[in-house]
Amino acid sequence: MVATLIGNAYSLQIQITEERENLESEKRALLFELRKIFENRKIEGIVGKSSKILQALDVVHRVAPTNATVLLIGESGVGKELFAKAIHFLSPRADKPFIAINCVAIPSDLLEAELFGYEKGAFTGAYTSKKGKFELAKGGTIFLDEIGDMPLNLQVKLLRILQEKKLKG
């Protein structure tokens, strides 16, 4: 009976290893395809030939390889997230997460916990710890939409993180 359990555990471990290798291979292939989409001057989803669009695309290609924090300004619905994705997938962070969050879609009293996370017991109902979006990004890119409509106290915390490039400390 013990030998059967050990055999099953070994067999399961082999299956898990193979599945992990397959998923990693698929991830690499998908990232390669995404990079191809964003490498040429034409970025999928961004349509236009005006000098302003071409200038914006040039800026995307110049800023992507840097470690700079980028502020995208524009009316709602103009494609800021498309530009953010283009910057992400052209950057050295392309193999890390891209996390987009609409700051006005989350109630202000929950937004802080969503962005920064919380520890178990930090408040009533916090039965477990939760990682925030910044921690989940893990060296990738976080796109915060509609930050101008965030509560001012959260904008101050966000500014500190962007300036110091550290979540805690």
| pLDDT confidence of residue 169 | 46
Q: Right CATH number for 40-164 from 3.30.450.40, 3.10.20.30, 3.30.450.20, 3.40.50.300?
A: 3.40.50.300
- Quote the pTM value: 0.69
Query: Angle CA(25)–CA(27)–CA(28) in degrees, nearest 5?
Result: 65
| pLDDT confidence of residue 168 | 65
Q: Residues 20-51: pLDDT tens digits? A: 999 999 988 887 777 666 665 556 667 777 88
Q: Residues 82-99: pLDDT tens digits? A: 899 889 988 898 889 999
The average pLDDT across 120-135 equals: 80
| pLDDT confidence of residue 37 | 64
What are the distances in angstroms from CA 169 to CA 43, 132, 161, 164, 166? 38, 16, 10, 10, 7
- Domain ranges for the chain: 40-164
**Residues linked to residue 100 through DSSP beta bridges, in sequence order:** 143
| pLDDT confidence of residue 138 | 84
| pLDDT confidence of residue 18 | 94
